[in-house]
Structure formats: C-alpha cells, structure tokens
Amino acid sequence: MPDDVSPLALLVEGLSKSYGSRRALDNVSLSVGRGEFVALLGPNGAGKSTLFQLLSGLFGAESGRIMVAGHDLKTHPTQALARFGIVFQQATLDLELSVEANMRFHAGLHGMPSALARSRAAEMLEQFGLSARAKEPARALSGGARRRLELARALMHEPTILLMDEATVGLDPASRLDLLRIVNEMRAKRGVAVLWATHLCEEVDGSDRVIVLHQGHVLKDCSPGDLLRETGKPTLVEAFVHLTAAPANSPS
C-alpha cells in the first residue's frame, strides 16, 4: 500500500533479533497511526535501542516485517527509510560544521535540491529558535540547543514518522520539557507521527498510546489511562514498576 493511502505511519509485525544467545526482541508487533504520538516505555535493556536500530536499517531482523507508510523496509528500503526522521540517543551532529551546514548536509543525503535545502533550512531554524546561530559551529550550542538542531534536521525532508530514541538523555528537566513541547507542536503543525522511546514515565503522560517493552516483549499497548486501569495502579510510575518487576513471560 503506497505512502499516500496507507493509514499507518509504521507497522511492525513479528520482529525478532538475537545477539548470540541473548534474545533482544522476541516476536514484537506494534503500530503507529498517522499523526499519533506513541511512547515506547521500557527499562534499560528492554530492547528499545535494538528496535530503533532495526527500524533505521542499521541491522537486519531475523524474522518479521517492517512497513513504513506502506513501504516494506526489506523490499523497498530507499522509499521506507526516506519516510523516517530520526533523533538517536547518541548525538550525530558534526560539531565542527556550522548549524546551517549540518542542516544542508542532511538535505544532501536526502537528495533535496540546493534551493529547496536553503529555504527549508532557514524555515526550520526559524521555527526552532536557531536562526541567529546559523553560522556558529554546532559545538557552540548547549545540549538542549543541539537536540533542537537534531530535531530540526530530522524534520527537514518532511518525514511521515519521527523516531526519538531516548532523545532527552543528558538533558536537564527544563530542556526535556522543551523538547517534548516542540515535538508536540511539530506533530500538530505538520501531522508527523512520533515513536518516542524512553524509560522516564513523566515523558509518557501526554501520549496517545503507551507500549511497554520489557526483555524484548511487548507487555502492554494502550492509552496511559487504560494502563492505570488495567494494572490497578494510581500512577504511571507504579504501573511501570509493577509490569517490569517480573520476567516478561510471567503473568502480571
């Protein structure tokens, strides 16, 4: 199903990946609708980064299927990967390049014409409050400003879905809230879907759905409110601790 008619930004079916004897992901299935904000909540080692590595094409899965806006990642990788915007946990900026040059380098990777790249870079830097620093090296930016630049860069080519892989790690609370606010503003303005991986429950509360991943298994896939009702816990933190305290294949 092509990009313009697929109802889902992302569909993952039966995805499995092992590293030696360790099963990092075991038959994982999930979906993200157009314009939806889905939080992927899991403790360290749950398999979140492995999932993002498979989604971004860095590694191949042993089994399962990944569809991005109707494009199969295995059979049509160029079309599928072009629909992703990605902010990884580890920073990927070239700190010696200017803010603007980082944007234009990304545009080149996506084959954007020079004139379009210039105008889109100017537009995005304005929206993210970075216009005044366009000529400065990325090294001069604070941690929060670098994350804003990475997010602006990820949205330059107008992706269908934005992958945020523990993107607030290392940020202070104010910068974390600022990044969440900006992502939600971009979602409302541009209709981009978001898959937001985190181990911080405070980043989950405003999401449309929460997917709890533990030891490579999906334990829950529901709204934050339903997660509280189904676990009988008064807070998301308590619900999360309850679900992830036992082995993933044990009854909760």
Can you tell me the mean pLDDT for 84-92?
Answer: 89
Q: Band of the pLDDT at 5, cuts 50, 70, 90?
A: low
Q: CA 50, CA 54: separation in Å to the nearest integer?
A: 6
Is residue 147 assigned to a domain?
Answer: no
The pLDDT assigned to 8 comes to: 96
Which of the pair, 252 or 211, is modelled with greater confidence?
211
Contact 160, 34 (CB under 8 A): yes
Q: CA 223, CA 35: separation in Å to the nearest integer?
A: 15
If you compute the radius of gyration of the chain from its CA atoms, what whole number of angstroms results?
Answer: 18
Can you tell me the mean pLDDT for 218-225?
Answer: 96
Is residue 100 assigned to a domain?
Answer: no
The strand pairing partners of 214, in sequence order, are 217
Is residue 113 assigned to a domain?
Answer: no
Structural domain count of the chain: 1
Is residue 124 assigned to a domain?
Answer: no
Contact 218, 224 (CB under 8 A): no
Is residue 201 assigned to a domain?
Answer: yes
Is residue 232 assigned to a domain?
Answer: yes
Q: CA 232, CA 228: separation in Å to the nearest integer?
A: 6
Is residue 2 assigned to a domain?
Answer: no
pLDDT surpasses 70 at 249: no
Q: Band of the pLDDT at 26, cuts 50, 70, 90?
A: very high
Contact 93, 148 (CB under 8 A): no
Global confidence as pTM: 0.91
Can you tell me the mean pLDDT for 168-192?
Answer: 88
Is residue 15 assigned to a domain?
Answer: yes
Domain extent, residue 50, equals 8-83+159-244
Residue 155 three-state SS: helix
The CATH number assigned to the domain holding 224 equals 3.40.50.300
